[in-house]
Amino acid sequence: MAGLHVLYEHASGYALFRVEEVEEVGMLLPTVEKSVKSYEKFNSTVKLVAFSPFKSGTNALDNCNAISEGILHDDLKVFLENNFPLKKKKATLGIGDPKIGSAIQEELGILLTGGDVVQEVIRGIKLHFHLLVKGLTETSASKAQLGLGHSYSRAKVKFNVHRADNMIIQSISLLDQLDKDINTFSMRIREWYSYHFPELVKIVNDNYMYARLARIIGDRKLLKEDRLEELEEITMDSAKAEAIIQSAKSSMGMDISPIDLINIETFASRVVSLAEYRKSLHAYLQGKMHNVAPNLSALIGEQVGARLISHAGSLTNLAKYPASTVQILGAEKALFRALKTRGNTPKYGLIFHSTFIGRAGAKNKGRISRYLANKCSIASRVDCFADVPTDVIGNKLRDQVEERLSFYETGTAPRKNIDVMKEALSEMNEMIAKKRKEDKKKKKKRKLTENGDHNATTDGAEEEETPAKKKKKKGQSEGEQSAADVSLNQSTITDGEGEGKKKKKKKKQSEAEATVTETEVSQNEGAVAEGDSEGKKKKKKRKKEAAEPVEEQEPAEAPKKKKKKQTQALEESMVLADDEGESTPKKEKKKKKKDKK
């Protein structure tokens, strides 16, 4: 056993260890068992060769599934090829799981061992794994094990919210059991109450109705014509109610004590409650079948479809079965008996309970059962693998079976399967589109109902904020327009000044003309200044009036900031107005100079 290596599969990755002094370890097994608990002694004999961590949780789950199924994963194969000494002939690999050992031996040709020595070494590695691998703590190792355990168990259970197969299986089995119990209990109450009122059995045949009548009638001597309406409500027939009253008057039954009558009434009420629960369970089963397997229930019925699913184990198993297996499903005893005796195999199993086979003739029962099994397998596959379950294809398949029945009876040729499936696909797409629209509408309604209270509280604040925002926008737009006008005026002024300087350089005007122009300009400046001052006052008043309602409607959270913004806007407008006043006299001067020239 020279050159022993041990492979250990952890939730965090693969690890390969080398065991030194293997022969001594094998000789001293009891001492090794004691020394496994101490890390220092164990580390002296077992040393880490390589460690390959998993890349992600899904990668760890894939490797775990491969090991449980006895398949060599690519990650493990690469890890062993890179780290295990394959060239050495005496090198052996110790493995705890024998399933993966056969796959490693076939793929890589490595010698494997799995004795007591390897088991003790693996026990020590499990105990000290977080100390042997650097960078791995005990908490991180336990978290990795917990996460991988949850994901592995979830994948094994294969629980799916949308497919309630288990509920259908349990409900159909409970329904069958209730049918048996109700029949046995009703027979017991018939025998028990017939000692007192034997004629009631001949009048009423239904078990549920008989139990209700036995509970209401009680002592037949006390039954009078006043209770005729109660009996008519139960029997739904006036003739039967009158017959019960007449037979109670002239009954051949014996008298009964009040204690026995109390027991009969309690037992009858129990039978009635079981029968009512059976009705509610049947309605529940119908709803589940319409949600889980709508096509199968539309084709063959809820009860027969549920029995097929329960016998197969799940809807996915039923979808995997071929049509020949679906045809014989439920008749396994007859099949094996026929195979042993080399007789005729059965033509149908659970499918026999459908109405199609009963309606077919004796010669055509085998044909129609084979055809129906084929359609059942198609319907189960559509139900299992469709994203949005609908009963369109099931109804079309039912129509095809009806056409095949009429073909066997009358000879009228049925429609082609391609044409029927094209119609079914077009209708199914329309149904899916409608369902998606309805789901979107429902989601929107839910969101509106959930956010209704929140919107009701915030509507008032939004209504108060909107007028203030509108007025702010108006003030900003007016300021932008005035700024644009000022920029245009400034550009015209600068152009005029440049032209005036050039003219002064070229031509010199006389002093008399200059004095005349100065006097005229001074007069014009006085008039313009008066007009500008009046314009400034009017603008100030307007802006104050516009600013006052804004200050009233603005929320009281940040009044200081808004006042600063308003004062800045007023100052900017004043500066722009001054620039306009200065630009007007300059323009007038230039115009007069041009006219004189």
At 303-326, the pLDDT tens digits run 999 999 999 988 989 999 999 999
DSSP of 112-127, one letter per residue? Answer: EE-SHHHHHHHHHHHH
**Residue 240, domain member (yes or no):** yes
Point out the domain boundary residue: 258, 282, 306: 282
Q: Tell me the C-alpha distance between 85 and 101, whole Å.
A: 17
Q: Are residues 248 and 200 in the same domain?
A: yes
**Residue 263, domain member (yes or no):** yes
**Residue 435, domain member (yes or no):** no
Is pLDDT above 80 for 37? no
Is pLDDT above 80 for 59? yes
Q: Are residues 308 and 412 in the same domain?
A: yes
Is pLDDT above 60 for 92? yes
Sign of CA dihedral 400, 402, 408, 413: negative
Sign of CA dihedral 274, 280, 281, 283: positive
Q: Tell me the C-alpha distance between 197 and 244, whole Å.
A: 10
For residue 573, the model assigns a pLDDT of 55
Q: Provide the residue range defining the domain that includes 260.
A: 167-282
User: Do the beta carbons of residue 292 and residue 168 sit within 8 Å?
Assistant: yes
For residue 445, the model assigns a pLDDT of 85
User: Do the beta carbons of residue 116 and residue 84 sit within 8 Å?
Assistant: no
**Residue 559, domain member (yes or no):** no
> Using one digit for the tens of pLDDT, what is the confidence trace for 474-528?
445 444 444 444 343 444 444 444 444 444 444 444 554 544 444 444 444 444 4
Angle CA 423–424–430, to nearest 5: 95
Is 534 in a helix, a strand, or coil?
helix
DSSP state of 346: P
Q: Tell me the C-alpha distance between 160 and 45, whole Å.
A: 48
The backbone torsions φ and ψ at residue 15, rounded to the nearest 5 degrees and listed phi first, read -135, 140
Q: Are residues 74 and 191 in the same domain?
A: no
Could you tell me which of 357, 374, 386 has the C-alpha nearest to residue 321?
374
- Domain of 94, CATH number, reads 3.30.420.220
Average pLDDT of the chain? 77
For residue 437, the model assigns a pLDDT of 86
Point out the domain boundary residue: 231, 263, 282: 282
For residue 557, the model assigns a pLDDT of 44
Q: Are residues 36 and 91 in the same domain?
A: yes
Q: Are residues 258 and 310 in the same domain?
A: no
For residue 244, the model assigns a pLDDT of 92
Q: Are residues 62 and 195 in the same domain?
A: no
Q: Are residues 133 and 24 in the same domain?
A: yes
What is the helix, strand, coil percentage profile of the chain, to 5? 75, 5, 20
- Domain of 378, CATH number, reads 1.10.246.90
> Using one digit for the tens of pLDDT, what is the confidence trace for 381-425?
999 888 888 889 999 999 999 999 999 888 888 889 899 899 988
Q: Are residues 201 and 89 in the same domain?
A: no
For residue 57, the model assigns a pLDDT of 86
Q: Are residues 188 and 139 in the same domain?
A: no
DSSP state of 90: S
For residue 275, the model assigns a pLDDT of 95
Calculate mean pLDDT across residues 327-355.
Answer: 89
Q: Are residues 129 and 27 in the same domain?
A: yes
Q: Are residues 226 and 196 in the same domain?
A: yes
**Residue 52, domain member (yes or no):** yes
State the pTM of this model. 0.53
**Residue 336, domain member (yes or no):** yes
Between residues 311 and 157, which one has the greater pLDDT?
311
Q: Are residues 10 and 133 in the same domain?
A: yes
Is 498 in a helix, a strand, or coil?
helix
Residue 13, judged by CB atoms within 10 A of its CB (0-12, 13-18, 19+), counts as buried
Domain count, the chain: 3
**Residue 317, domain member (yes or no):** yes
Could you tell me which of 199, 373, 391 has the C-alpha nearest to residue 298?
391
User: Do the beta carbons of residue 388 and residue 435 sit within 8 Å?
Assistant: yes
- Domain of 259, CATH number, reads 1.10.287.4070
Point out the domain boundary residue: 253, 282, 311: 282
**Residue 448, domain member (yes or no):** no
